[in-house]
Amino acid sequence: MNYALPEWLDIGPVEQLPALGARTLPVQGGDEIAIFRTATGKIYALVNKCPHKAGPLSQGIVHDTTVTCPLHNWRISLVTGKALGDDAGCVPTISVKIVGGRIMLARAEALAGAQVDVA
Ligand code: FES
């Protein structure tokens, strides 16, 4: 039988993320993803690697729609993944939608960095 893979991955309820909080999602063979919740309840997902020296953005401080990297304080846009201010660089973002109170990630974007064997 041939099952179509879902376009969106259900990664759990929105309530699992406190406001201004983050969690991580491992990707087998790829880059870990960081999922953030802002003070206003918006959810964003980025590869969990600062564009400067790969600091874990999930451990940074969220304010408005930015996260401050815990290593050297670069500010990264949660919307675009771009470094702000005088800093340059960009981390991939993953599209998110909320369906029935659950967080859904765009499958292809979430697995973009993974080496997936499709035999
Ligand atoms: S690794 Fe993020 S600011 Fe340096």
Closest by CA to 114, choosing from 32, 46, 51, 42, is 32
| CA of 55, closest atom in ligand 1 | 1
**What's the 30 CA to ligand 1 centre distance in angstroms?**
20
**What's the 107 CA to ligand 1 centre distance in angstroms?**
27
Question: What's the CATH number for 8-110?
Answer: 2.102.10.10
Determine what percent of the chain is predicted with pLDDT higher than 70. Answer: 94
**What's the 74 CA to ligand 1 centre distance in angstroms?**
6
pLDDT at position 52: 97
Confidence of residue 116 (pLDDT cuts 50, 70, 90): low
Task: Count H helices and E strands in the chain, helices first.
Answer: 1, 10
> What number is the average pLDDT over the span 30-56?
96
Query: In this model, does residue 47 exceed pLDDT 60?
Result: yes
